[in-house]
Amino acid sequence: MSIGHTLLGLLESGPRHGYDLKRAFDERFGHDRPLHYGQVYSTMSRLLRNGLVVVDGVEAGGGPERKRYAVTEAGVTDVARWLATPEKPEPYLQSTLYTKVVLALLTGRGADGILDAQRAEHLRLMRELTRRKRDGDLADQLICDHALFHLEADLRWLELTAARLDRLAEEVRR
């Protein structure tokens, strides 16, 4: 995810302080990985330097001055271009799990245990996401569905690999 583009998009509704941007980001997109304040302010500095935001006001407080940022026309254009650009599909051709399975076989270890442990971990996470989906709002339901569909695809790969494990072991040991 492009944090810069996301913050720019959040600014399109009106100027905000860094604290407010972090809170809005975390509420909408950061359930599992909230932003650190340092990320927000370093990103805002970069966006300011690149002319995508301006400082709309500064307020004195009990601590450091609070800057209020506003998106520029260039920032709006940049977000529009980013939104219109399709994301590159990630085919996972070099997955860590695949590497573990092949290395286990290359070193004479069994890979069944690796596949079983991974299957159990996937199922555990799927149960957790299903609970979150059931209790969540529409945004939560959609992000959980996205993750669940990817996990289901991983499970299919785990089953297929388990079914072909003997053949794979023969090939990698040649």
In this prediction, residue 94 carries a pLDDT of 62
Let me know how long the chain is. Answer: 174
User: Average pLDDT of 24-48?
Assistant: 91
- What distance in Å separates the CA atoms of residue 70 and residue 156, rounded to the nearest whole number? 46
pLDDT tens for residues 81-135? 999 988 887 777 668 889 899 999 988 888 999 999 999 999 999 999 999 999 9
Alpha-carbon gap, residue 83 to 77, rounded angstroms: 10
In the chain, the percentage of residues whose pLDDT exceeds 90 is 73
Mean of per-residue pLDDT scores for the chain? 91
Mean pLDDT value of segment 34-62: 92
pTM exceeds cut of 0.75:
no
